[in-house]
Amino acid sequence: MRNLVVLILVLLSSTSLFANDNIYQIDTLTDDDTLLINGINFATQAYCPDIEVGDEVEFISGDPKGNCSEAEILNLRTNQVCHTWCQSPIE
């Protein structure tokens, strides 16, 4: 029984080792195709199809904190890449 408890604890701790902290959720999508992610506005450079509020995205390039001029975001639901301009954080 003790071995089972140890095994469960090891498995639970190992999942956090593989967690991707580069994945964020789209909080808001405005009519002019500006995405609010992580409290930062990202303006789409071109049309990004089928993006919805709540979609999880991964930053391929750029900075989720907005310290960049451009960012590429992969929508994990649709597997589509969206090219954006980074903008300053919302105050």
pLDDT digits 0-9 by tens, 8-45: 554 444 444 445 677 999 999 988 889 999 899 999 99
What is the reported pTM?
Answer: 0.72
Q: What are residue 19's phi and psi, to 5 degrees? A: -65, 140
Pick the more confident residue, 61 or 19. 61
User: Per-residue b/e over 26-40, b at no fewer than 16 CB within 10 Å?
Assistant: beebeeebebbbbeb
Q: Is the dihedral of CA 60, 61, 64, 69 positive or negative?
A: negative
Give me the residue spans of the domains in the chain. 20-89
